[in-house]
Amino acid sequence: MRQHTTRLAALLLVSALTACGGGDYHAPVNVAPVANAGPAQTVDAGTVVTLAGSGSDANQDVITYLWTLTKPATSVASLENYHVATPTFTADVAGTYVATLTTNDKQLDSAPSSVTITAQVPVKAFVAIWGNNTCHINQRIWIIDGHLVLTAFGNASGCIIDGGYRLYESTPAALLCQQGGLAITSLCVDAGNDTLMSTIIANSSAADLGLGPSHQVQQVYNKP
């Protein structure tokens, strides 16, 4: 009787294991994680940009983050904390930045995910330089090749003569050249801009500022 009971218990155990798959166990297959670089952004040049990245893993593995950044030719921007989901960088010049995120679960990399950040010239910041000063007349602003900014203004009668031309790299904080006021001749931080500035001043009444078809010139502000 005892032997019969033992055999019956063994059969029941085998049946239970078979029903539960216990006799044919396979470790779960690792799946590569998924990266999401977040939404596109449009900001003013000079803005600190926070990327909104994220990642997920079907196996619930802990994942790590790795970002890279491509930037305009004149930019010196770099990513801060590029090993976290939401790093930052300063869009120091106007133009297009592309941030790419890859995640890893210690075994597999995700497919890369990229996001575009467009930095534009902060025209209002340049207008604000003049404020409500009634001595500054004929205020004009041009954007050249999407990132260089030329400002020009004159002086009303009886005012201190400080008008002239200023050339900037994208923001008011990045003055490249000036002419007029105390600068009798064109003074440039970088001698490479001397020729450009001289051409502009000699052709300031031309729609293309004398720069020709190889440059894009757009007048964005004009206040008599």
Q: Can you give the residue ranges of every domain in the chain?
A: 34-120, 123-223
d(CA 18, CA 16): 5
Q: What is the pLDDT of residue 11?
A: 44
Pick from 43, 38, 36: nearest CA to 77: 43
Cβ(26)–Cβ(48) below 8 Å: no
Q: What is the pLDDT of residue 163?
A: 79
Q: What is the pLDDT of residue 44?
A: 98
Q: Which residues of the chain are modeled with pLDDT < 50?
A: 1-3, 6, 8-18
d(CA 77, CA 92): 6
Q: What is the pLDDT of residue 8?
A: 43
Under CATH, domain 34-120 is a member of which superfamily? Immunoglobulins (2.60.40.10)
Supply φ then ψ for residue 16, to 5 degrees.
Answer: -65, -45
Bridge pairing between strands 164-169 and 175-180 = antiparallel
Of the chain, the percentage scoring pLDDT greater than 70 comes to 86
178, exposed or middle or buried, with CB in 10 Å at 0-12, 13-18, 19+?
Answer: buried
SS3 state of residue 17: helix
Q: What is the pLDDT of residue 21?
A: 52
Specify the pTM: 0.82
